[in-house]
Amino acid sequence: MESVMSKYENQITIFTDYLEEFPDTDELVWILGKQHLLKTEKSKLLSDISARLWFTYRRKFSPIGGTGPSSDAGWGCMLRCGQMMLAQALICKHLGRDWNWEKQKEQPKEYQRILQCFLDRKDCCYSIHQMAQMGVGEGKSIGEWFGPNTVAQVLKKLALFDEWNSLAVYVSMDNTVVIEDIKKMCCVLPVGANTADENPLDSLTASNPSKDPSATCPSWKPLLLIVPLRLGINQINPVYIEAFKECFKMPQSLGALGGKPNNAYYFIGFLGDELIFLDPHTTQTFVDTEESGLVNDQTFHCLQSPQRMSILNLDPSVALGFFCKEEKDFDNWCSLVQKEILKENLRMFELVQKHPSHWPPFVPPSKPEVTTTGAEFIDSTENLEDFDLEEDFEILSVSDLFGDKY
pLDDT in tens, 261-282: 889 999 999 999 999 999 999 9
State residue 335 phi and psi, 5-degree precision: -65, -40
pLDDT value of position 42: 84
Q: Is 202 a catalytic residue?
A: no
Task: State yes or no: pLDDT of 191 exceeds 80.
Answer: no
- Whole-model pTM? 0.84
Distance, CA of 365 to CA of 170 (rounded, Å): 9
CA distances from 311 to 34, 48, 249, 274 (A): 19, 21, 16, 5
Question: Active site residue: 281, 302, 379, 404, which one?
Answer: 281
Residues 27-31: what's their mean pLDDT?
92
Sign (positive or negative) of CA dihedral 100, 106, 108, 112: positive
Question: Active site residue: 48, 120, 181, 279, which one?
Answer: 279
Indicate the angle between helix axes 128-135 and 148-158, nearest 10 degrees: 110
Cβ neighbors of 336 (< 8 A, separation 6 or more) are 246, 250
CA distances from 139 to 17, 83, 237, 255, 318 (A): 33, 20, 29, 26, 19
Question: Active site residue: 36, 48, 77, 124, which one?
Answer: 77
CA distances from 264 to 267, 309, 325 (A): 9, 13, 27
Residues 118-128: what's their mean pLDDT?
96
Question: What pLDDT, in 10s, does the model give residues 55-77?
Answer: 999 999 999 999 999 999 999 99
Distance, CA of 175 to CA of 362 (rounded, Å): 16
C-beta of residue 34 within 8 angstroms of C-beta of residue 44: no
Q: Is 279 a catalytic residue?
A: yes
Residues 365-391: what's their mean pLDDT?
50
pLDDT value of position 17: 38
Residues 19-38: what's their mean pLDDT?
82
Give the H/E segment covering residue 113. Answer: helix 109-116
Residue type, 13: T
Question: What pLDDT, in 10s, does the model give residues 292-329?
Answer: 889 999 999 998 888 999 999 999 999 999 999 999 99
Please, which pLDDT band fits residue 215 given cuts at 50, 70 and 90?
low
Cβ neighbors of 218 (< 8 A, separation 6 or more) are 187, 188, 189, 190, 193, 200, 204
pLDDT value of position 260: 86
Task: State yes or no: pLDDT of 202 exceeds 70.
Answer: no
Please, which pLDDT band fits residue 205 given cuts at 50, 70 and 90?
very low
Task: State yes or no: pLDDT of 189 exceeds 70.
Answer: yes
